[in-house]
Structure 1
Amino acid sequence: MELDGGQHTQTTDAARTAIIEREGYRVPRFWNTEVLANPEGVHTRLTEALAQPSSPSNSG
């Protein structure tokens, strides 16, 4: 999970996210304000994400 402030954008994080996802990980992101304003909703989304199987690395 990553908490994003104003310095993060999909464009600036794309390369790093691609590397992480290539290793079989997911990168759920939440804005700082969302976590502060809606912690229950963030918790629900994280719980749902954890319930989904992730793909193993293909870099073998």
Structure 2
Amino acid sequence: MKNASPRWFTSSYSENGGVCVEVATNLAASHGTVPVRDSKTPTGPSLAVSAEAWTTFVAMTRH
């Protein structure tokens, strides 16, 4: 397995008010997780959400 670094991004739907989360979906296929962090504290902790849970979350927010 190749070691990969998270490629963080903020949703284009986020307003520029600084109250956002960033995600790194590039690790979903290789690691089975989607890291999530607070955009105001990029060097702080992140959560590792399972790729399945992230997919479900995104699908539920679209309804």
Same fold (TM over 0.5): no
Instruction: Compare CA radii of gyration and give the structure with the larger one.
Output: 1
Could you say which structure has the higher helix fraction?
Answer: 1
| TM-score when normalising by structure 2 | 0.30
Could you say which structure has the higher strand fraction?
Answer: 2
| TM-score when normalising by structure 1 | 0.31
